[in-house]
Structure formats: structure tokens, C-alpha cells
Structure 1
Amino acid sequence: MRWPGWRPLASLRSRLVLLVLATLLVAQALTVYVMVTYQRDELQTATANLLVTSITTLKSAISMVRPERQAMFVHHTSQGQWRLLDEPPPRGARFQSADGLEAGAQNAQAVRRSLRMLSREVNRALGSTARVAVSAGAQPYLYVSLGERPGQAPWLRIPLDRIDPPVRVPFLLWWLLALFVLAMIALWFSWHITRPITRLAKATDMLASGRPEPVKPSGPTETRRLGEHFNSMLEALAQTQQTQQTLLAGLPHDLKGPMARMALRIEMTEDQALKAGLKRDLADMQHMTEQFLDFLRGQDISRLRLEQLRLDRWLQEQVNERRQLGQDIALIGHLPILEVSADQAALQRLLNNLIDNALTHGKPPVEIALEQIDPKFACLTVSDHGAGLDPSQYERAFKPFERIDAARSRSGNVGLGLSLVKGIAIAHGGSVSLAAHASGGLSVQVKLPLSGGN
């Protein structure tokens, strides 16, 4: 069963707490029920049998005592609890019959159920030789006729508050206190069990955002082993990433020497057509090398040099420089005053890649907008007026070395543009998403955290 609007039950901790509390409450309720049932059935029968034995014994004993001393005898024998009365029970008392308490001015329901059962058991055990009545109120009494005929004096008055005491307020308070203590222990136990899993979930979120952090293995054996395996996985990923970066960094570096010699030989060539073709090929190779280096710089978080940057002012400067080169770029809307903590060189590579991709794979004009989408994030949007991209290709577009369309397969492009943008954004604690522009082109939205979350 799903509760769509009940978000607290979405976490493992809340479900475990609910399970423990529900089990605890059910167990406590069953305990009280069993206790009450046992008292009502087993203890009630035992009490009635003991009471009937005492009444029968007392009736036989007082027959041996002179009538004027019988009341004193009962008083001393019962340690001042029982009384021998010459008058019948008061008007509020209800007489017991085979069908239950007889009806009267006072409702029989005013007598507690346990007292009605007790009087019935006593009446059944004594048989037809005695008449039994019970009175309600704060001080309930049981009246038993000891005369030769049923209902004849004397009457034995027995207080029932000690034989069958009602549930007292202190008992309920102690029970609630015990339940509260057990609930606190259950909550602590649930928190202790789920804390390692919560830490691991947070660590996976950090890993997904490009900032992996190891966890401290703790808790039960299973969660401790899970934490150890997670740390081992982080070490393997870090080693793999380091190896990949070393290989990718070494390749462009090693190509610089041969490309420099090729440039020298091209200049020495007298065939102008051949020289022009070789220059284009060399420029493509140099561009590919720069893409590799930019990609590696964007993936390496340790190389970032973060500083406070007025994003609106910096963006205006970058657009002005592009316009001076004759590029059709426009700032859309009002630029809010926003400040971020960023590596200016990395952020410039991010913007350059977005603009170059828009000009290369889309159509001008390229529109750039800056807005504050919530109290913690700024959104930089770069859009073009080209053919756009199918939404099914959005996820694939961020993968390294992926060429989505024919334009991306042209010489000099290796499919690292959007992957570089995503890496730089994640390194700054942000994210990147794609959307369709109103003109039909592609819109790239980069979220960057604001300084201080203002």
C-alpha cells in the first residue's frame, strides 16, 4: 500500500521506527489484555472459591458463639474488615439471582463487571442456603445472608475494594512511563541501526556530485562490511581515474613535439596547396589536443583555484569580447547581481565550450541569460537557434567522445564539449541540464551555487 502524500514514511529510518513502535504498542496492549483477562478469569475464580470457603467456615464458627458475641467475633476474626449486620442490605444494593443482578432503582451497570461476576460465583457456590447482594460506589460491598432461610438476618458485609481493586491512576501512570522509556530505547536502537546506512547514502550522493568521500564503517556486521566495500570501491575508482588522466594527459603532451616539427616542415614546403591542407590538418590536431587538456583540467578538482567572482560582471565582459570578434551573441534580460565561488579559468572554459558548441552545431544568434532560480543557486543559460537535439539524446550528449550528429563528426571535434561543461559544473557543486529552446534550438542550463546561499 502506498501513501503518496506521506513523505516521512519514505525513509528506512522512519519505517523502522514505525515498525518498532507499532510492535511495542501491540505487545504492551496484549500484555495488559492478558493481565486483565487473567485477573478476571483465573484470579476471579480463585478469589470466589477462597471467599466462599471463608464464609462457610465463618458461618459454622459463629454458630458456636453466643448471639451477643457473634458480631465481635466476626470483627476480630476478619481483623476489622468484615461486619455482621442485623439489618438487610441498603436500598442501593442489588441482589444476585441466577439471571444476574436484579433490576432496581440503581442501574446494574453501575456495578463493575468484575464485581458482578464475583457475586454470581459466590451465589452459585453457596447455593440456596444464602442470599447474595452487591453494592456499587467508591466503596463496594458484598452482602451474604447467614440466616437459616435465604435473605434472613444476620447479614455478613464484606468490603470488595481489596478483593477486586479497580485500575488505579498510579498504575496507568507507571505503565505509560514504562511505555515511554521503552519507546525511547526503541528510537535510539532504530537510529543506531540506520545511522550507517544514512551515512552511506550521503556518501553516494557526494560521489554522484563528483566529490567522493569515504565513510566510517560502523553499526552491525552487514553495514560495517558495506562501508568497507564502499571505501574499497572509492579507492578503485580513484586509481582508475588517475590512470585514465595520466594516459589522457600523456598523449596530448607527447603529441606536442611531433606537431611542432610538422609545423616547421610545413613552412618549408613550397607547394602552396599542400601547405594549406597540411596547416588545416595540423590546426585540427592542435584543437583536439587542447580539448583533451581542457577536459582533464575540468575533471581534476584539485586544480581548481576558487575565488569570489561577480558572475554578472564577468559574464558581461566575456560577451563583449566575443562581440568584438564579430560573433552574434546577445544577453537576454536583466543581469542580477550574483556572486559565486569559482575558478575563473575553469568557468571561462565552460562558457567558451557552450558558445562554441552553439555556434558550431547550432545557428546564431546565441542567447545568454543569467537568473537566480532559488536562494542558493544561479542559472546560466546558453541557447542557439539551430535544429536542436532530440530529448532521447540528452543523456548521451554528456558522455565523453560521443558524437550525436554529423556536424560533431567533423575533423577537430572529439565529443568532449558537454562532458567538459558537466565536469566543471559538478566540480563547482552545480549541475547541467539540456532543454529545447523556444526557437527550436538547444538550451543548456548550468546551475552554480551562490556564495553563502544568498
Structure 2
Amino acid sequence: MRSVRARAALGATVVVALALIGAGLSVLLVLRADLTDQAGLQAEVVAREVAGQLALGVPYDRLEMRDEEDHPVQVTDEDGRVVAVSKDLQAISGTGTDRVTPIPSPAFGASGGRDDDNAGDDGGDDDDRRAAPGRGEVDSDEADFDNGTATVDGETADYRFASLKATTPAGATLTVHAGAPLAAEQEAVGTVRGAMLIGLPVLLLVVAGVTWLVTRRALRPVEGIRREMAAITASEDLSRRVPEPGSRDEIARLARTTNETLTALEASVERQRRFVADASHELRSPIASLRTQLEVGAAHPELLDVPGAVADTVRLQALAADLLLLARLDAGERPGLAVVDLGALFREEVSQRTGDRIAVRVSVPDPGRFEVAGSRAQLARVIGNLLDNAERHARSTVTVSVRAAERGAVVVAVSDDGAGVPPKERERIFERFVRLDEARTRDEGGAGLGLAIARDVAVRHGGRLTVDGAREGGARFELWLPGAR
């Protein structure tokens, strides 16, 4: 079942079905128990009436039994012999014996009369549970109950029987079994069960249909998103966007997130295309120059410009290294976790730049205290790029300072006394292959990747790289990195 609507409808139907079946069974059990208890109470009332008469010494054949058709009665003695039954009782079960023919008891005559002198004493309250002089006793304990059947006047039905013990004035112990019909209980339970069997399938069909329609309506925007995404994939047009529903639910957030993803993907693809185009353009120039020099040298060896060919090769090598580093950064390469002392690293980088046009002044107040975690090679690349940029634009001074910041962070500032960076261009210079006009006049070999690489490495180390105006009048680049601790 691949349809979400079908699975949702089936799941809701199953849950509702289980809930209704459980509730229906509970209702039937409670209803049956309640009606059975009511029948048992009626049977107990009849049993106590007959037992009260026996306790007063009423003969068996003179016992008064109300509603004999609805309340069959059977009286047995201590030996289980039947001594009295209600009128028209033809068969019985559930009382301990199925006999319905009375057998005379030793304590009474064949006619049921009393043999002792107290037979005529019928005074007193029938509800008195204790034996008074000249009368028997009715058991005060709760009656015993059981289900059975009885045939009265040719009709067989189910009954709830109550069994109660009574003692006659002569001392004989008798058991009265009185029944109450269970027809009302069976009819009520059958009616409720029939209504449930008819209503349950109808209700489940309604639940399934409503769930199907509601789910279909809820998932309609999802189908629109899917169709639009399929169209975008087929056309490769990343400028298209999926429709956003006006609701504020999860589907609307899904559409919004999908459009944000498409926007990021479009920007990434565009940046990648621009990167490839710019890289091809930047590589073409040194390769063409190198090829020209080699072709001239092959035709006229005396005209071969070896220093120029070497310079073009070095420039080509540096550009290839920059492109490779950018590709690795774009691929998500994470920096290492080595501990690097930025103060010592700056001193080391500056000491190797002996042939630079402008000397670099380094101010590191406390060597050894400016430790950060990351890749030593990538951080050295950032330092080199910042120093190269400062020396290209400085007139006479390049200053480097390292200081500690809050929470153990390290801040490095590289300043020059050049023309500086206009405020509106301060973010643009960190884009790839971006070179301001002044930069082109001062550096014909720059590809516009140094600052982009520096900022990317800084961000991947958990820091940031910004540019502002310097006190000397030029640019001040500030690198912030979290401390190693």
C-alpha cells in the first residue's frame, strides 16, 4: 500500500474499529451483568417469600408462590429429595437436581401437614430472620446464584436461580430454589449486539471515507510540490519555485524550506559556473603566455625569455594551488585539531619574506599565549594571503599585531598605509575572482582568490575575517579565531 491516503484511512479505520469493539464489548458485559443481577434479585425475593412460609410451618401443598409461570420454585430437603415444586413445573436444571416430582418428607404427612403441635402457629413477622417459639428459621446469609433452564407449561426458558436455606419448626432443613427469567437480559443484549453489528461497519465506512477525503485535501499541496519539483528536475531550471500554500501548517513550512533549498542550490550552481568560467579565464592567460614563449623559443632559441616563462609557471602553479584549496574547502574538508601559536606562526611567515618590497613590523607582546586549534597549513595560507594583500597596496608600512580577546580568543590585525578599501566594496573583495581596479594596476598576476580563501578558512575554523579603515589611512584586516582551550 504505497498511498499515504490509503495508509492513513486504513490506520484510522483500524484504530476506530478496535476502540469501538472494545467499547461495545464493555457495554455488553456491563449490560448483561446488570440485567443478570436484577434477575437474581427477583429470584432471591421469591426464594425468601417461600422460605419464610416454610419457617412458619406452612404445609408444602399450601405454599403460596407468586407468578409461578415466571418464577419456577423447587424445594429440596437435606437428602436432596424434592419436597415441593411450583405449579406446572415440568423440567428444571441448574438447581442441583432435575427432579420435579415431590417426595413426601418424614417430617410431614403426605398432604404436607405438620405432625407437631406447633403447626398452627403462624403469628409474627415474616421477615424475622431468627426462630421464635413454634417457628423455624430462614438463613440470613446471602443466597447462592446459578443459571439454568426450566420448562413451565410446555415452554422452556433460561432462568437465574437463587438458592436459600430454611429450617422448619420441626427442625428439618430445606433448600428453596427460585428462578427469575433471563429473557429480558437476552433480548436487551441481543438488541444492543445487533445494533452494534449493523452500525459498526457503517461507522467504519464513514471514518474511512472522511479520513480519505481529509488526507487527500491535506496532501494536495504536497502533490503540487512534487509536480513542480519533477518539472524543475526535467527542465534543470533552478529559478522556478514550488507553490507555497496559504496555511501555516507543516506542508507550508515544507514548501518554504524547499524554496529556500532551491534558492541555495541555484546560488551554489551559479557560483560554481562562475567559478569554472573565472578559473578558465585566469588559467588561459598564463597558459597562453607560456605557450607563446615556448613557441618563440622553439623557433628562435636566442629569443627565449626563460625568466618570463618561469614567472608564468610560478603564477600558474600558485593559481592551481588556490583552485585546489577552494575545491577542497567547498567539498567540506574540515580543518585539523592541532594547536597552533599564531604569534610564532606570524613571526615565522614574516621571517621568510626577505625579498618583499616593504618590510613587515610584527607586534606580539606575549609569545606562546596565542594558541588556536586548526590546520597549521591553512592558517599559514591565511597569514600569507593577508601579508601579500597588504604589501601590494601599502606605500611604506605594513603592521601586524596579535592580541588576546575575551574568552580566550585571539585577534590578529594586518594594517597598511595604502589607499584603503571603499566602504561599499568591503564585502565584495571577499568574493572569488573579484579585483578592484586599483588592485589590477598594482598586480597584474593577482587572480582575486587570496582574500576569498582567507575568509573561507577563517569561517571553517570557527572565526571571522573583516576589513575596516586603518589609522595609517589604508586598510585594516582583522582575523578573529577562538582560542585552543
| Pair in the same fold by TM > 0.5 | no
Structure exhibiting the larger radius of gyration computed from Cα positions: 2
The structure with the greater share of residues assigned to helix is: 1
TM-score scaled to structure 2, two decimals?
A: 0.41
Greater RCO (CA < 8 Å, at least 6 residues apart): 2
TM-score scaled to structure 1, two decimals?
A: 0.43
